[in-house]
Structures are given as structure tokens and as C-alpha cells.
């Protein structure tokens, strides 16, 4: 559960969600409002039609399916690629690298279990976001 909460927060912040204290408690966070969306319809469009309006209780009690539902990852991948990177998922290899710099991956993961493809893609995205935060 701790890993899932960390994943949710990293992805939500990367996607431009504002972290808002819930009822003044900074330990119970909500992600509400995307700086790129002006209306709820635009916000849903950013997430491929998935409604990701969070409440504090929802954040604490619900696992967003980033690691099991590829539909949740597609808007994140799109944003990464709009910033000049390539998200490459090839067989058992998962990489993010700058456009035209395939030989120097920023993040590279390998997993032979193809049933974990979505989970590994999620781990790749989280690793990339963490790497970008360090630089």
C-alpha cells in the first residue's frame, strides 16, 4: 500500500495535479484540479476519459490501477514523450531515453515475466519521474 501511495503521488504531481491538504491535514492529501485542464471535461480528457477526481479518503483507501490498467499510464507516457523522450517497451525490455539517443537510456528495466508488462511499465515511469526530480 505504501508503494502505491508513493506511485499515485509521483504520477499525480508529474501530471500537474495540485497537492492540497485535506481539511487542513497535510498528511491526508487530495489531488484536485489539473493546471492544464480548464473544465472537468478537459480534465477527464487528459486521462483518456477516466475520472480521477480525488478526495482525501479516496487517496488513502483506494489503489489507483496504474500498475494494472494501461489506460491510466497512457496520458503519463504521452506527457513524457511530449517532453522529448521515448518510452520504449520491447519484449522484456523497458526503457526511457531522449529522442535520437537510444544507446543512452535514462532508465532501463528488464523483466522476463510478460504477465507483468503493465506493472513494469508503471515502475519504469516512476523511476523516470524520480530520476528527473534528482536532476
pLDDT in tens, 19-58: 665 556 666 666 666 665 656 666 666 666 665 554 443 3
Distance CA 22, CA 32 (A): 10
Count of other CB atoms within 10 angstroms of residue 55: 14
Distance CA 96, CA 109 (A): 9
Distance CA 111, CA 102 (A): 19
The pLDDT assigned to 82 comes to: 95
Distance CA 53, CA 8 (A): 13
The domain locations on the chain are 2-65, 70-134
The CB-side HSE value for 35 (13 A sphere, CA atoms) comes to 8
What are the pLDDT digits (tens) for 79-132?
999 999 999 999 999 999 999 999 999 999 999 999 999 999 999 999 999 999
Q: Which residue has the cell 491510466?
A: 72
Amino acid at each position: 500500500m505504501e508503494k502505491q501511495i508513493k506511485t499515485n503521488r509521483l504520477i499525480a504531481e508529474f501530471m500537474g495535479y495540485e497537492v492540497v491538504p485535506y481539511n487542513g491535514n497535510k498528511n491526508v492529501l487530495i489531488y484536485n484540479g489539473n493546471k492544464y485542464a480548464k473544465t472537468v471535461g478537459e480534465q477527464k480528457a487528459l486521462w483518456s476519459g477516466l475520472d480521477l477526481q480525488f478526495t482525501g479518503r479516496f487517496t488513502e483507501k483506494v489503489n489507483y490501477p496504474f500498475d494494472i490498467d494501461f489506460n491510466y499510464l497512457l496520458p503519463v507516457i504521452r506527457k513524457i514523450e511530449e517532453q522529448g523522450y521515448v518510452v520504449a517497451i520491447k519484449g522484456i525490455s523497458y526503457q526511457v531515453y531522449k529522442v535520437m539517443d537510444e544507446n543512452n537510456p535514462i532508465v532501463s528495466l528488464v523483466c522476463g515475466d510478460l504477465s507483468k508488462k503493465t506493472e513494469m511499465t508503471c515502475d519504469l515511469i516512476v523511476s523516470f519521474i524520480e530520476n528527473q526530480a534528482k536532476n
